[in-house]
């Protein structure tokens, strides 16, 4: 078959695939909108109610001294969850990396456990742990620890598997142990990246710790839920502004640090 004859055939096949893909996407949108009862009209009409509600959110600055304690607790929950999660994740990620795992069985078991952890949202962890560990910061710390383990092992193992294999092969050929290979061939290549991932996890955990308070896991989120239940919208607005400022501050500091590590 000549090239000129094959070209129209390929073009027709491409058009068919494109049309089919677009049709599937459109069909998924229609079905999802129908099953979730999504309505553009309700969205437009609800804008008026949103504006009226937003007008009530005038910050009550007299409540400011009351939020420093819960806000600090939120940062502490995120910090401890990140720290404990990193202490667990960094040894584990080498068992979840194909080029540093001791054997196939350890690799598959570790990856399976971590996959289960990643499949459970941190909010669900906190909701399950709060009745067991009592209402307060402890369920939040444990939930963020498990979440951090899942995130850091995933990102870290992918970085370890992408390292230059030359130094690893050279050390193994020289009779180095697995731990020596990791220490002298892997860590020098991924150390800065793993530290960057740690800072990124802390950023995420600060945001997450606010939400975890809504299920009784301590911090400013728990205070926010209480003020919402009492319809104290001025206090709610102040909490939101303070949380927003805190997240911006931590994000900026984390970005500054990461830029100097990589």
Same domain, 49 and 84: no
Q: What does the pLDDT read at residue 223?
A: 87
Same domain, 236 and 168: yes
Cα–Cα nearest to 140, from 90, 75, 197: 75
Does residue 253 register a pLDDT over 90? Answer: no
Same domain, 11 and 50: yes
Does residue 45 register a pLDDT over 80? Answer: no
DSSP string over 146-168: HHHHHHHHHHHHHHHHTS-HHHH
Top-confidence residue, 130 or 114: 114
Cα–Cα nearest to 214, from 206, 205, 222: 222
Number of domains within the chain:
2
Q: Do residues 162 and 96 touch, judged by C-beta distance below 8 A? A: no
Same domain, 47 and 68: no
Dist CA 93 CA 160 (whole Å): 8
> If you average pLDDT over every residue of the chain, what do you get?
85
Same domain, 49 and 106: no
- 24: containing domain: 3-54
Q: Do residues 163 and 173 touch, judged by C-beta distance below 8 A? A: no
Same domain, 123 and 227: yes
Same domain, 90 and 189: yes
Q: What is the mean pLDDT of residues 236-256?
A: 87
Q: What is the mean pLDDT of residues 65-77?
A: 90
218: left (phi over 0), alpha (psi -120 to 50) or beta: left
Q: What does the pLDDT read at residue 89?
A: 93
Tokens for 221, please give them: 């989120």
Same domain, 20 and 109: no
What CATH number is given to the structural domain containing 224? 1.10.3720.10
Same domain, 125 and 149: yes
Same domain, 70 and 46: no
Q: Which of 41-50, 66-75, 199-208 has the lowest mean pLDDT?
A: 41-50
This prediction's pTM: 0.79
Residue 103's SS3 state is: coil
Same domain, 188 and 248: yes
Same domain, 176 and 138: yes
Cα–Cα nearest to 187, from 177, 175, 176, 195: 195
Q: What is the mean pLDDT of residues 90-102?
A: 91
């Amino acid at each position: 078959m000549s090239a000129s004859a094959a070209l129209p055939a390929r073009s027709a096949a491409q058009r068919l695939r494109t049309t089919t893909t677009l049709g599937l996407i459109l069909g998924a949108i229609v079905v999802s909108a129908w099953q979730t009862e999504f309505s553009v009209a309700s969205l437009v009409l609800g804008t008026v109610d949103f504006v009226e509600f937003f007008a009530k959110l005038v910050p009550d600055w007299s409540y400011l001294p009351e939020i420093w304690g819960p806000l600090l607790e939120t940062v502490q929950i995120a910090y401890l969850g990140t720290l404990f999660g990193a202490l667990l994740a960094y040894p584990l990620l080498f068992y979840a990396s194909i080029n540093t795992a001791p054997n196939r069985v350890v690799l598959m078991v570790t990856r399976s456990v971590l996959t289960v952890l990643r499949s459970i949202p941190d909010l669900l962890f906190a909701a399950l742990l709060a009745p067991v560990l009592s209402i307060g910061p402890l369920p939040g710390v444990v939930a963020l620890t498990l979440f951090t383990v899942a995130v850091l092992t995933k990102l870290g193992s992918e970085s370890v598997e992408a390292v230059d294999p030359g130094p690893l092969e050279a050390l193994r050929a020289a009779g180095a142990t697995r731990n020596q290979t990791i220490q002298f061939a892997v860590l020098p290549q991924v150390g800065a990246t793993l530290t960057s991932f740690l800072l990124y996890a802390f950023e995420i955990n600060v945001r997450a710790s606010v939400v975890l308070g809504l299920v009784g896991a301590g911090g400013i989120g728990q205070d926010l839920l209480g003020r919402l239940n009492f319809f104290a919208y001025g206090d709610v607005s102040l909490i939101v502004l303070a949380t927003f400022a805190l997240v911006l501050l931590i994000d900026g500091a984390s970005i500054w640090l990461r830029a100097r590590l990589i």
